[in-house]
Amino acid sequence: MSVGDAKKLAAVVRRAASRAEEGYELACPCAFSASDDGALSELVYSLFLYDAASSQARNAYRRAREAFHGLNELRVCSPEDVCAALGERYPGGEERAARIRCCLGAVFVHGQTLTLAHLTGSTRKQVREALESIEGCHPFAAARVALLRFEQPCVPVDGKLLGLLVAEGVFTEGTTAAQASQFIEREWKGKPIAPLVAALQQWADGAPPPPPSQASAKRSNRKKTAPVKPAARS
C-alpha cells in the first residue's frame, strides 16, 4: 500500500518549483580544501545541512574551512573544536560534530585515505548502502552525496522536510524519512531528480520549523551515532 498521496506531492512540488530561485546551487560551495575529495567534502557539507537551512550550512561550512586546514585535520580534531567552529547556536552542533568525525574516521580506516572515489561506477543500491554504512552517516547526507556526486536518482529527506510534507497531507503521521524518500523516488522515476530536490530544499529553507509532534518523529527516525572513538592519525 502506498505511504503517500501522489496528487498532493505533485501540488507541493509545483508550488515549490514556482517559488524556487533560478540558478540555485544545490551542491556544496567547493571542496573543503584544494586537495580534498569532492564527494567527501559534499558529505561533510550534507552533515551540516540536515534539519538546518542552506544559509546555516553554508556559513558553517565556511567557518569549518577557515578553522581546519583540510579534511584530515577535521578528522583528528576534537568534537569540542568542531562545535566551537560551528558556534553555540548551531542546531544539533554536538551531534553533527560526532557524526562528522565518525564518518571521516570510518572512511580513513576503510581505505587509509580520505576519498569516496572507489564508489564511482557503482549502482544506486551499492552507492547508497555504502554511504549509509559509514559510521555516523545520516541517511539524508548519504542520499545527497549519491545524487550530487554519483548521479544516482536519490531524494534526501530530513526531519524538517518530512514534517512539512506531513503538514501538507502528502504523508501521514508515523511515516519515516526513509519511506518518504522511497515514495518520492518512485513517483519521480524517469524524471530529473536534481530540480525536484532543489525546489524542495528551498521550500524547506523558507518554512518555519515543524510542530513538536513532527520534531519528535524526526528524532525517532534519526540514525543513531555510535560513541566517537579517537581518530587514527596518519
3-class DSSP string for 166-183: HHCCCECCCCCHHHHHHH
Beta bridge partners of 171: 4
Residue 219 reports pLDDT greater than 50:
no
- What integer is the mean pLDDT of 166-187? 96
Q: What is the DSSP letter of 223?
A: P
The pLDDT, as a whole number, for residue 226 is: 45
The pLDDT, as a whole number, for residue 234 is: 46
Q: How far apart are CA 147 and CA 142, in angstroms?
A: 9
Rounded to two decimals, the pTM is 0.87
Amino acid identity of residue 68, one-letter, is F
Collapse the DSSP code of 4 into the 3-class scheme (helix H, G, I; strand E, B; otherwise coil) and give the result. strand
- What integer is the mean pLDDT of 198-217? 73
In the chain, what's the furthest Cα-to-Cα distance?
52
Q: Tell me: the pLDDT tens digits for 25-61?
A: 899 999 999 999 999 999 999 999 999 999 999 999 9
The pLDDT, as a whole number, for residue 211 is: 58
Q: Tell me: the pLDDT tens digits for 72-112?
A: 999 999 989 999 998 888 999 999 999 999 999 999 999 89
Exposed e or buried b for every residue in 83-114, given b needs 16+ CB within 10 A? bebbeeebebbebbbbbbbbbbbbbbeeeeeb
Where along the chain do its domains lie? 6-220
When mean pLDDT is compared across 62-76, 147-161, 162-176, 200-214, the lowest value belongs to 200-214
Residue 214 reports pLDDT greater than 80:
no
Q: Does domain 6-220 have CATH number 3.90.190.10?
A: no
Give how far the C-alpha of residue 1 lies from the chain's centroid of Cα atoms, to the nearest Å: 27
The pLDDT, as a whole number, for residue 227 is: 43
